[in-house]
């Protein structure tokens, strides 16, 4: 698949209908210079999906168990210094009325730690996206697509990260990442209960 560059950020389109997660993983590691562009990340993930579920990534997306299993099995994961994984079952176990639960999550997604210790973050629910810290200390939000022309990129001077709470059901449903420009205007806002921080 062809790659493009914007603001020094290299990106590509998805190779399968539902390969947004491995595409994001590939894009982060490529921009961290951990792997090269022709690494067959999505193809390998697709092979693992077929082997473990009987379905390829055109037939359906990976679920929570697939994400944990496939990340642990990917040889490219060995190139990562630090990685935190938060998935739906992690958020489902948290009680927003329990300050220990809430403070623990806030500590885990501490924006200062993410700024200092992690360069890329995959975040999503039905669709995985990337928040990536550029060498200029600015941020780019990348939303992959099966075609390059429909890939979405947004820039930000800084980011905020906070727990996402569903007040109707009184549950923590994930996190919300927002990008802000120099004037404090929101350039992107994306939430999800699948979060992988990579450093």
Domain assignment present for 122 = yes
> Per residue of the chain (199 residues), what is the pLDDT tens digit?
689 999 999 999 999 999 999 999 999 999 999 999 998 999 999 999 999 999 999 999 999 999 999 999 999 988 899 999 999 998 888 877 777 777 777 777 777 777 778 999 999 999 999 999 998 989 999 999 998 888 999 999 999 988 888 888 878 889 999 999 999 999 999 999 999 999 9
Domain count for the chain, please give it. Answer: 1
At 1 the pLDDT is: 65
Residue 147 has a pLDDT of 86
- pLDDT given for residue 96 in this prediction: 73
Q: Does some domain include residue 11?
A: no
Domain range enclosing 90:
16-198
Instruction: State residue 79's pLDDT score.
Output: 86
The answer to whether 142 and 151 are in contact (CB under 8 A) is yes
- The pLDDT value given to residue 143: 96
pLDDT digits (tens, 9 = 90+) for 55-73: 999 999 999 999 999 999 9
Quick check: is 4 in a domain?
A: no
Helices (H), the chain: 20-31, 41-53, 64-73, 88-92, 99-108, 111-117
Residue 3 maps to a domain: no
Determine the 3-state secondary structure of 107 from DSSP: helix
b/e code 129-160 from CB counts within 10 Å (16+ = b): bbbbbeeeebbbbbbbebeeeebeebbbbebe
In a domain, 77, yes or no: yes
CA torsion sign for 46, 52, 54, 60 is negative
Positive or negative torsion for Cα 85, 83, 52, 34: positive
Answer yes or no: is 138 within a domain. yes
Q: Is residue 151 part of a domain?
A: yes
């Amino acid at each position: 698949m062809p790659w493009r560059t914007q603001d020094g950020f290299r990106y590509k389109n998805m190779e399968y209908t539902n390969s947004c997660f491995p595409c994001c993983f590939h894009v982060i590691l490529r921009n961290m210079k951990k792997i090269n562009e022709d690494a067959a990340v999505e193809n390998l993930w697709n092979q693992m999906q077929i082997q473990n579920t009987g379905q390829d990534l055109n037939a359906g997306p990976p679920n929570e168990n697939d994400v944990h299993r496939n990340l642990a099995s990917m040889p490219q994961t060995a190139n990562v210094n630090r990685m935190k994984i938060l998935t739906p079952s992690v958020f489902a176990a948290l009680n927003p009325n329990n300050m220990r639960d809430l403070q623990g999550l806030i500590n885990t997604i501490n924006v200062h730690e993410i700024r200092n210790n992690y360069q890329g973050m995959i975040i999503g629910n039905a669709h995985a996206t990337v928040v990536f810290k550029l060498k200029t200390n600015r941020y780019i939000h990348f939303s992959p697509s099966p075609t390059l022309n429909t890939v979405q990129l947004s820039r930000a001077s800084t980011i905020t990260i906070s727990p996402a709470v569903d007040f109707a059901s009184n549950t923590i449903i994930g996190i919300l990442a927002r990008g802000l420009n120099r004037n404090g205007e929101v350039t992107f806002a994306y939430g999800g209960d699948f979060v992988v921080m990579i450093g």
